[in-house]
A and B are shown apart, each in its own frame.
Chain A
Amino acid sequence: MARDMSDKEILKMELEQLKLEVNTPRIAVSTTAPEIIAFVEGKSAEDPLIRGVPEDKNPFKEKGGCIIT
């Protein structure tokens, strides 16, 4: 576990990890950003917190005039 490892062992672990990561395939932000945006736009229409829920359908609306907290 990390607490039992000496500093040297922790550094070795990080080094191994970095060597792997330098070679990971990557895509440009200009490609991925529009995809994220498209995803969000597609789903925003059904997002209750954005669109709002009419009071009569909202299960969390306060019922009646008496609220017991």
Chain B
Amino acid sequence: MCDQTFLAITFGPCDNCSQNKPLMNIYLKNEPINYCSLCVELMACQGLAKGETTNTLKAESESLKAKLEEERAKLHDVELHQVAEKIEALGQFVMKTRRTLKGHGNKVLCMDWCRDKRRIVSSSQDGKVIVWDAYTTNKEHAVTMPCTWVMACAYAPSGCAVACGGLDNKCSVYPLSLDKNENLAAKKKSVAMHTNYLSSCSFTNSDMQILTSSGDGTCALWDVESGQLLQSFHGHSADVLSLHLAPSETGNTFVSGGCDKKANVWDMRSGQNVQSFETHESDINSVKYYPSGDAFATGSDDATCRLYDLRADREVAIYSRDSIIFGASSVDFSLSGRLLFAGYNDYSINVWDVLKGTRVAILFGHENRVSTVRVSPDGTAFCSGSWDNTLRIWA
């Protein structure tokens, strides 16, 4: 017989009961454990303590969710767009592409404005991170990252450094020097370490701390100088795709959105998830705080953008149309919060009237998906990055 299967059994002392028995080699949380079959059975039963099964937990979870909805519905006495009916409608919008920034060799994945309202940092799939002067379209700095798909980049508040990361699971900070010949990659500082890709990063109010979100389902706050983890935020049950810090006047919170269709609001100091919203029907790609800090907007793969009011603890507006069937990849508010700019996977950018819930304009120009949209710090223009390798500045 040439077909014989041999089962090799390790025989030895069990890690748990110390008796010499045939052992089952199993892995618990990536650690190899050698238990005898009796101990494995006992362990499996202990996991279900006191009649607790996945089903009972699910049932309890559903009933709490229903109660939560009931509580929230009690305060839903009026719709935002009803209250906004008395406001005069916005005039005709004429926004054109004023600058096209070409230079990336592959899809632009992320961009950020500098506080000087003029410089922009952008990152792309080819691993390059470029700092541009938006007024002249000159490239001021270029860094090549050791990984591709640099999905996150951020400008430091001082304008002296940029942070970026992606498939390398890390967030690295590069100090920008005025000397053009200096090799920026040499000064790189690795700050954050996650166990999966970095989806988004942002400096807090200073250059000293960075907040990151990752495909491993967590967000984390790091000290730049020492690289130390200051706080981690657990609560999402799938990849976290986006985060945004509350505008400084309103305190230490941030909002994050992920593939579990949830948007969570966190307290940065305690690490506690203070509010959670689950009304989207698909992955949330982008979250942005409203300029007042009392609300936030989300853009999702279900082709809608939604506005959530934090004090009323519920969704108050949906921005959608039957003709829009592609997901929204990125959202941002204008300075006053009256306009919501959203970039979609159908290559267009839709401009919504936040209060009335209507679409004000639709902007064409990109030749592939719009991956990121950001309004400049003084509100005079907004920049969009796309998979067509370019960035466009609209004003």
Q: Which residues of A approach B to under 8 Å, CB–CB?
A: 1-5, 7-8, 10-15, 17-22, 24, 26-37, 39-44, 46-50, 53, 58-62, 69
Q: A36-B294, A40-B355 are in contact. Are A47 and B336 (CB under 8 A)?
A: yes
A-B contact count (CB 8 A): 183
Name B239-274 residues within 8 Å CB distance of A.
239, 260, 273-274
Question: What residues on A are CB-neighbors of B217 within 8 Å?
Answer: 1-3
Which of A13, A48, A59 makes the CB contact (< 8 A) with B237?
A13
Which of B61, B274, B309, B335 makes the CB contact (< 8 A) with A29?
B309
Q: A28-B75, A53-B380 are in contact. Are A41 and B196 (CB under 8 A)?
A: no
Q: A3-B217, A22-B68, A50-B339 are in contact. Are A11 and B314 (CB under 8 A)?
A: no
Determine whether the beta carbon of A40 is less than 8 Å from that of B375.
no
- The answer to the question of B64 belonging to the interface, with a C-beta cut-off of 8 Å to chain A, is yes
Question: What residues on B are CB-neighbors of A37 within 8 Å?
Answer: 83-84, 87, 355
**B393 closest partner in A (C-beta):** A60
Given contacts A21-B276, A49-B395, 16 further A-B contacts (CB under 8 A): A1-B195, A2-B234, A3-B195, A8-B47, A15-B60, A18-B65, A22-B64, A24-B275, A36-B290, A42-B336, A43-B338, A47-B334, A47-B335, A47-B379, A48-B378, A49-B375
25 contacts between A and B (CB under 8 A): A2-B237, A2-B260, A13-B235, A15-B60, A18-B64, A18-B68, A22-B64, A22-B67, A24-B313, A26-B311, A28-B75, A32-B294, A33-B78, A33-B79, A36-B309, A36-B355, A46-B336, A47-B379, A48-B379, A49-B334, A50-B90, A50-B338, A58-B395, A60-B135, A60-B380
Q: What mask results when residues 185 to 222 of chain B are scored 1 for a CB within 8 Å of chain A, else 0?
A: 00000000001100000000000000000001110000
> How far is B337's CA from A69's CA once the two chains are assembled, in angstroms?
31
Interface centre among A7, A18, A61 (most CB of B within 10 A): A18
Considering only CB atoms and an 8 Å cut-off, how many residues of chain B contact the other chain?
75
